Structure formats: C-alpha cells, structure tokens
Amino acid sequence: MKFGIYTNPQKDKKYAATKKVLAALNEAGCDVYYDALTARGLGLAAFRDAKECDVLFVLGGDGTILQAAHKYVRCDIALVGINFGRLGFMSEIDIDGIVPFIRTVLAGKYRIDERTMLKTRVPRVDEPVLALNDFIITKQSRSKMIRLDLYVNGSHAEHYIGDGLIVSTPTGSTAYSMSAGGPIISPDIACMLITPICPHSMHARSIVANCTDEITVMCVDTAGKVGISADGRKEMPFMKGDAITITTADIKTKFLRVEADNFYSHLKRKLAQWNRTDN
C-alpha cells in the first residue's frame, strides 16, 4: 500500500507532526509519496507525487481536508484526516494515534467511506464546480438583503429574502448549514440539504431534497454584491438574473476509516468539544 502526506504548513508550521507521520511510515516499511508543497516544506528536491498513492494522510483541520479532496478527488485516493483544527468533523485520528492506525490499516482492518459531492456550473466560469461540503450563495454587504428563488426539478419551491442560501451534502450538514440552524444528517443518507441564511421570514426552514433532484437557485434581486463559493473556496460573482442548477456529482470523495460505524459517537464527541470554552 502506498501512502502520501499532505500538510497544511499553517497548522504544522515546523512540520513536527508531518515528520512523526513520516517516521511511522518508514518504520512500517511503507512507500511514501508527497504533495508538492509538503515536499518543499520538508526540503525534498526529489519526491514521488502524492497523486500516485493509495492513501493520503492530510494534516490540518476540515478546511485542509477539503483542499486535499478537491485536488485529488479524481485520483482514486482515500483520505485520512489527522486533526489539527478545532473540531475536525471529517478527521479520523489525532497525531498521537498514527502508529496504531498504520498497523491496523496494514493488517487490512479498514473500510472505505465514500462521500457524496455536488456539482454545478457557475455563470462566467468555464469548468464545472464541485463541492464536498456545500455551495454557499451570500451577500457581501451587511446592510442589504438579497432575493433568491428556489426550484426543485423545475417546480418553484420557495422565495427567500435574507442573507443567502446554503445547498449542502450530508457531509456538509455539520458545517455552515448547522451554524445556520439546519439539521444534522448522517453521511450515508442520499440527499441534499437546502438551508436559508438569516431569512427575513418566520416560515423559511431547511428543506431536504432527494439526491436525484435538480436544485436551481436564481438571483432575483440584490442591492449589493453577491457571491457563490464551493467549500469556502474562491468566491465567484452571482448577479441579478443569474441561476445555477445543483445536482449530485458522478464522483465521490473517499475516506479510509478503521472503525465500523463511528458517525454518531464521533458527532457526540465533537459537539461536546464545541461547547468547551477553552477552544
């Protein structure tokens, strides 16, 4: 099995944790591959490219995992998140667990967890855009509201007045959507979640749509600039009259897990951590 390393240098500034992972892999006799930025940070002039590995260790928080997912999603690589962030909903282990984790994986005691992604085409953007967590349409002016129309399979479902709208996967239900009051959805449920951001309406609530549905969002009116982002990445302009149609992508992000079914215990632990005041 070929293992790769992808490090967020802002989280592991001196690459101490990265070197700990590397030492554990070398001790286990594993072939090691590197993301280019990680290789430079370790001072490696020559290295084997991470796009050729089977399993990629991602050192950082959920944001780093999202970056790695976008970069390597078409390389058929399983990700393992090593948490350096505050919560790490998508992370599998902490750095102290790396040695027993590698032993467990090499013993074949693991499973592959495939996570749904969404896709859309954004006006004035040439390539299709993917999201593992969510697409977020939001205003850039605090004092102005925007008007959005929501269509499901061509049928008008809702008219929103407020700060914006989130269309997320079940994986993304524990991200911005949860902060906006949306429900938590198990990642093995095939659906899409639509959550308004600060709606100027008492009846506007989250909507759970089938994974086979087509979700269309149209910008009806805006008094200021509006943008759309995928997984918190670069914001793209979303102007009056623009529309996007969001569907389930034909590709999934893969995670390597060593526990049989840890979503609810993992969720309980992370939510308890969220309530701590020392984070």
Q: pLDDT digits over 178-212, tens only?
A: 999 999 999 999 999 999 999 998 888 999 999 99
Distances (CA, A) of 25 to 13, 60, 98: 20, 18, 9
Stretch (H or E) spanning 252: strand 243-257
| CA quadruple 142, 145, 146, 151: dihedral sign | positive
The whole model's pTM is what?
0.92
- The C-alpha atoms of residue 177 and residue 165 are separated, in whole angstroms, by 9
Q: What is the DSSP string of 122-156?
A: -TT-SS-EEESSEEEEEES-TT--EEEEEEETTEE
Alpha-carbon torsion 194, 198, 200, 204, what sign?
positive
Q: pLDDT (tens digit, 9 = 90+) per residue, 144-154?
A: 889 999 999 99
Query: What is residue 189's predicted lDDT score, i.e. its pLDDT?
Result: 94
Q: Point out the residues that are catalytic.
A: 62
In 10 A of CB 46, how many CB atoms?
5
What CA–CA distances, in Å, run from 34 to 47, 125, 138? 7, 30, 36
